[in-house]
């Protein structure tokens, strides 16, 4: 029983990391029709810059951790906004070229990260509390799992509030449904493009900082390994649906943890789940039709 | 304004447009007068909707010129054309179904002082349903919301594409009345298949066939009365059929 609880909470934690990547992917695809393969690079850069900063300002304190979360968000957001502005925007409405340029950026980014920080993992050190465990119904759950889950939940809440309560949120929701009609109301939808990239990149940057504590290290491949599952989560949840991405993240994370622990087939089961969803409901759990 | 009113509000010259490489608008020339309702007619698939979309750049314009109130707009992106004072009411309404009615309208407000009063007078139903998701409205109510989005702003021109399509006769009449009111203050280019509505509303008419203008008239009624012309350009069988259609939609029979 306690093992199952541990697996559940760890799985939700892993799902939280997937969500931080998948939320941006889903919004970007929903609004712009671009599958962003460079999204993992936003995460990795956020993680590396935060790791560098934490070594300079002193590892192992809560203050440093919170500062690095902010730095991760800022770095991911700025990197993503620049990507949209410099690479995606000039290829407006050319979706295949846009996808190819993000693939290129993701490969180039990993090479640059390897050049700067090397291929070996760089170990992180969070607040001392992270290394301890909390007893949940007999299960000893590492504390960093809770932090990951809480921060992801706050990001979800923040993005939902933004989408529901602000004018730009309204433009994004309308644009996900029918982008050309948004422009036909006299709204420059390209500003919303930059905005979803920025928000998605910031969430990925936060995900990078959290992942570096969850796994205990940063490496150039960190973003890519999470990105694959985030793509799967995005498809299962329904492209363009934030709530779909949130639900699918938790389902995939938990399923992966449990099946990995007992049978070592977590990745395989996730692929099977993806296939089943695509065969029975190709738009995903909560995706828009067509 | 009275001096300018002899100048057309919209002047389209040799307009070509393509969807995914295939030519759907093939050298269209016409003018829309600065007052009243001008109908854009033709059989299905002759390029009426494509012409409207090409005017505001929703599909790729591949040639020709378009002038709105004397200014070229054929190289201007869609959102900037709309901001210059064009209201667009698309075929099939295209309300944002996941957004509330109020959000749909709010999104459409371009002016600092949008004309909410007019919209509330014309469509009291929308006020009652402002917090409802637009996707849960009936077809008629969605059409009202779509019209309301355009009427909220001060426009130089309205482009209205098949506003009565698929609506019940009573609602058709409501839409026609709303357009009549709107036409007091703004010229309208109207695509419409319901010929009795055209009779009721339109001053002039432009008839398209095969992506080209094949006929122009200052009197839509005269055109519709000419059996040979309607037969040739619209494929309408006879005047009796027209009368019947007119009676049906005005609620005389049903």
Kindly indicate the confidence band of residue A132, based on its pLDDT and cuts at 50, 70 and 90. Answer: confident
Task: Give the model confidence (pLDDT) of A206-231 as tens digits.
Answer: 999 999 999 999 999 999 999 999 99
Name the domain count of chain B. 2
Q: How far is CA B148 from CA B25, B47, B168, B183, in A?
A: 28, 25, 19, 14
Whether residue B104 is contained in a domain is answered as yes
In a domain, A119, yes or no: yes
Task: Single out the residue in B108, B124, B154 at which a domain terminates.
Answer: B154
The verdict on B118 and B163 lying in the same domain is: no
B110 in contact with chain A, both atoms CB, cutoff 8 A: yes
Find the CATH number of the domain harbouring B236.
Answer: 3.40.50.300
Distance CA A113, CA B119 (A): 57
For residue B66, tell me if it sits in a domain: yes
CATH code, domain carrying A254: 1.10.3470
Contact B90 A185 (CB under 8 A): no
Domain that holds residue B96: 92-154
Q: Is residue B254 part of a domain?
A: no
Q: How far apart, in whole angstroms, are the C-alpha atoms of residue A126 and residue A124?
A: 7
What crossing angle do the helices spanning B139-151 and B169-183 adopt, rounded to 10°?
10
Final residue in a domain of this structure, among B113, B129, B154: B154
Let me know if residue A198 belongs to a domain.
yes
Q: Which residue of A has its CA nearest to B110?
A: A186
In this complex, is the C-beta atom of A179 within 8 Å of any C-beta atom belonging to chain B?
A: no
Domain that holds residue A275: 2-280
Give the pLDDT mean for A69-90.
95
Q: Which helix (H) or strand (E) holds B239?
A: helix B239-249
Task: Say if B220 falls within a structural domain.
Answer: yes
Together in a domain, B52 and B170: yes
- Asked if A110 contacts A119 with a C-beta cutoff of 8 angstroms, the reply is no
Number of domains in chain A: 1
Tell me if A235 is assigned to some domain: yes
Does one domain contain both B62 and B168? yes
Q: Does residue A285 lie in a domain region?
A: no
pLDDT band at A12 (very low <50, low <70, confident <90, very high): very high
pTM equals 0.86
For residues B148 and B46, membership in a common domain is answered with: no
In a domain, residue A116? The reply is yes
pLDDT at residue B253 in the model:
40
Left if phi > 0, otherwise alpha if psi is -120 to 50, otherwise beta: which for A137? left
Strands A139-142 and A217-218: unpaired
Partner A contacted by B78 (CB < 8 A): yes
B175 and B223 housed in the same domain: yes
Q: pLDDT digit string (tens) for A229-283?
A: 999 999 999 888 888 999 999 999 999 999 999 998 888 999 999 999 999 988 8
* Tokens read off for B73: 């707009």
Is the Cβ pair B79, A186 closer than 8 Å? yes
**Which residues of chain A lie closer than 8 angstroms to B98, CB-CB?**
173, 177
ipTM of predicted complex: 0.86
**Nearest-CB residue to B58 (from A180, A187, A188):** A180
Contact B90 A184 (CB under 8 A): yes
- What is the distance, to the nearest Å, from the Cα of residue A37 to the centroid of all Cα atoms in its chain? 12
> Cα(A230)–Cα(A254) distance, rounded to whole angstroms?
14
pLDDT in tens, chain B (254 residues): 444 457 899 999 999 999 888 889 999 999 999 999 999 999 888 889 999 999 999 999 999 999 999 999 999 999 999 999 999 999 999 999 999 999 999 999 988 888 888 888 889 989 999 999 999 999 999 999 999 999 999 999 999 999 999 899 989 999 999 999 999 999 999 999 899 999 999 999 999 988 889 888 888 888 888 888 888 888 765 445 555 555 555 544 43
In angstroms and rounded to an integer, the radius of gyration of the C-alpha atoms of chain B is: 18
Neighbouring CB atoms inside 10 A of A172's CB total 25
* Cross-chain residue pair B88–A184, CB shorter than 8 Å: yes
Judge if B129 and B105 occupy the same domain. Answer: yes
> B8 and B61 share a domain?
yes
> Rounded CA gap, A12 and A254, in Å?
6
B97 and B132 within one domain = yes
Please give the Cα distance from A18 to A273 (Å, whole number). 16
Residues B45, B170, single domain; the answer is: yes
- Strand, coil or helix: B251: coil
Q: Is residue B198 part of a domain?
A: yes
């Amino acid at each position: 029983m306690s093992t199952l609880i541990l697996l559940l909470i760890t799985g939700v934690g892993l799902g939280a990391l997937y969500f931080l990547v998948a939320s941006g992917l889903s919004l970007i695809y929903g609004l712009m029709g671009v599958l962003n393969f460079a999204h993992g690079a936003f995460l990795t850069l956020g993680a590396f810059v935060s790791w560098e900063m934490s070594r300079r300002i002193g590892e192992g304190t809560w203050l440093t951790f919170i500062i690095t979360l902010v730095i991760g968000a800022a770095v991911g957001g700025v990197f993503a906004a620049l990507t949209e502005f410099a690479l995606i925007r000039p290829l407006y409405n050319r979706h295949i070229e846009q996808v190819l340029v993000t693939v290129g950026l993701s490969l180039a980014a990993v090479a640059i990260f390897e050049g700067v920080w090397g291929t070996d993992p760089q170990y992180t050190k969070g607040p001392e509390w992270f290394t301890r465990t909390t007893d949940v119904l007999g299960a000893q759950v590492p504390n960093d799992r809770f932090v990951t889950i809480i921060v992801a939940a706050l990001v979800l809440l923040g993005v939902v509030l933004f989408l529901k309560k602000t004018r730009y949120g309204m433009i994004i929701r309308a644009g996900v449904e029918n982008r050309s009609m948004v422009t036909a109301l006299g709204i420059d939808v390209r500003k919303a493009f930059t905005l979803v990239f920025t928000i998605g990149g910031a969430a990925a940057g936060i995900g990078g900082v959290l992942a570096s504590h969850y796994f205990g290290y940063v490496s150039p491949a960190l973003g890519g390994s999470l990105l694959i599952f985030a793509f799967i989560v995005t498809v299962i949840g329904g492209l363009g649906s934030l709530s779909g991405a949130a639900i699918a993240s938790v389902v995939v994370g938990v399923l992966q943890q449990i099946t990995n622990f007992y049978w070592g087939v977590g990745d395989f089961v996730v692929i099977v789940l993806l296939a089943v969803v695509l065969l029975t409901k190709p738009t995903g759990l909560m995706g828009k039709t067509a | 304004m009275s001096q300018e009113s002899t100048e057309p509000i919209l002047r389209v010259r040799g307009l070509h447009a393509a969807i995914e490489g295939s030519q759907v608008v093939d050298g269209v020339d016409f003018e829309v007068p600065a007052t009243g309702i001008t109908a854009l007619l033709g059989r299905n698939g002759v390029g009426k909707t494509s012409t409207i979309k090409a005017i505001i750049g929703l599909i790729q314009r591949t040639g020709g010129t378009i002038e709105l109130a004397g200014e070229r707009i054929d190289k201007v992106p869609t959102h900037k054309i709309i901001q210059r004072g064009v209201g667009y009411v698309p075929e099939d309404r295209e309300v944002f179904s996941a957004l509330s009615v109020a959000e749909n309208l709010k999104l459409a407000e371009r002016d600092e002082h949008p004309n909410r009063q007019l919209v509330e007078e014309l469509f009291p139903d929308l006020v009652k349903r402002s917090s409802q998701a637009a996707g849960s409205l009936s077809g008629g109510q969605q059409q009202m919301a779509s019209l309301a989005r355009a009427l909220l702003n001060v426009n130089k021109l309205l482009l209205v594409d098949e506003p009565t399509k698929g609506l019940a006769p009573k609602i058709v009449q409501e839409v026609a009345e709303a357009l009549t009111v709107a036409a007091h203050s703004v010229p309208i280019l109207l695509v419409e298949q319901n010929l009795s509505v055209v009779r009721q509303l339109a001053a002039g008419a432009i008839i398209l066939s095969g992506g080209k203008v094949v006929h122009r008239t200052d009197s839509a009624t005269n055109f519709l009365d000419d059996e040979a012309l309607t037969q040739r350009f619209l494929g309408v069988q006879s005047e009796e059929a027209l009368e019947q259609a007119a009676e049906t939609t005005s609620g005389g029979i049903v």
